[in-house]
Amino acid sequence: MLYTDRGMTMNALSRIAIPFGLVAAIAVSGAPADPLQSAPAPAPASAPVQAPSPGDVFAAFDAQAIDGSAQRVGFEKGSTTVLLFFLSGCPTCHKMIPEWNRAYERRPPKLNVIGILMDQEPPGFFLATKIAFPVVRSPGRDFLETWKVHRAPMTIRIGGGGTVEDVEVGIVDPIRLGEIFRP
């Protein structure tokens, strides 16, 4: 065996390591390891979460505003609407609300913006959380399934006739949000 000032040479080390690795593999599996066998395939990635896609078309819907009044959310031709889906108990949604507020305050005059609350808020939520845009309650689980809204926060731009033009899930940076809130 050759020694250097740094310890064993690679040649000497390989004579020790390879037989030791083979012995360890036999001890664990009960059979000799195939050194040419490739590493096991990684576990398949989970299926991507469905979300609305540009080109999807959705019909107008009825919802209840947070003050209890009935509200019709429609997508007339020549109009554009941005829907903001959020949960009152979602920390990521809490980070998006101030960004949505700023985008709402800078929105073009003809852009409709509506928040859709997907859960039942705790008492005092709207007193403690400043929300500048109008908010309605989600019409229910079937509505969210139809719209393919499975995560929050979600920002969806919808053109006239109900055609989805743009979708973002999660935190959206201010520049990208400006693109969604464009005239």
Evaluate whether residue 100 is within a structural domain. yes
Same domain for 7 and 94: no
pLDDT band at 2 (very low <50, low <70, confident <90, very high): very low
DSSP for 51-115, written as a single string: ---TT-B---EEEEETTS-EEEE---TT-EEEEEEE-TT-HHHHHHHHHHHHHHHT--TTEEEEE
pLDDT band at 1 (very low <50, low <70, confident <90, very high): very low
Residue 26: other Cβ atoms inside 10 A:
12
Q: Find the domain containing 83 and state its range.
A: 61-180
23-34 residue pLDDT tens: 444 444 444 444
Same domain for 156 and 66: yes
- Number of domains making up the chain: 2
Evaluate whether residue 56 is within a structural domain. no
Evaluate whether residue 50 is within a structural domain. no
Same domain for 103 and 22: no
Percent of residues, the chain, with pLDDT higher than 90: 71
**CB under 8 Å, gap of 24 or more: what pairs does 115-120 form?**
115/83, 115/84, 115/85, 115/86, 116/63, 116/83, 116/84, 116/85, 116/86, 117/66, 117/86, 117/87, 117/88, 118/85, 118/86, 118/87, 118/144, 118/149, 118/152, 119/87, 119/88, 119/89, 120/88
CATH number at residue 121: 3.40.30.10
Same domain for 113 and 82: yes
Evaluate whether residue 75 is within a structural domain. yes
Same domain for 145 and 75: yes
Answer whether 0.85 is exceeded by the pTM.
no
How confident is the prediction for the chain on average, in pLDDT?
82
Evaluate whether residue 22 is within a structural domain. yes
| pLDDT at res. 49 | 55
Evaluate whether residue 101 is within a structural domain. yes
Same domain for 153 and 83: yes
Evaluate whether residue 52 is within a structural domain. no
In angstroms, what CA-CA distances link 121 with 101, 126, 137, 138?
18, 8, 10, 12
